[in-house]
Amino acid sequence: MTDYRLLYLRTLLDAELKANGGTPNDRCQKAFAELIDIYHAQHANPAIRPPLEQVPASS
């Protein structure tokens, strides 16, 4: 199921960012947070993890 969730989140991000001229909105922030959790990237270098102002704590 994770593969399809990743595809959904990436598609959602593409659509939202296109609709907002490249500026992330609340839906994007939630998708970025979920991607960070799926990728286990809470402690990853900011240059390689999904962009998010506050990185969520590990679940």
Q: How many residues does the chain have?
A: 59
List of residues 6+ apart from 40 with CB closer than 8 A: 58
pLDDT at 56: 58
For position 57, what pLDDT does the model report? Answer: 62
- Asked if 42 and 56 touch (Cβ cutoff 8 Å), the reply is yes
Domain map of the chain by residue range? 1-59
Q: Give the pTM.
A: 0.84
Q: pLDDT tens digits, residue range 2-57?
A: 889 999 999 999 999 999 999 999 999 999 999 999 999 999 998 999 998 765 56
> Alpha helices of the chain — where are they, by DSSP H?
2-19, 26-39
Residue 58 has pLDDT above 60, yes or no: no
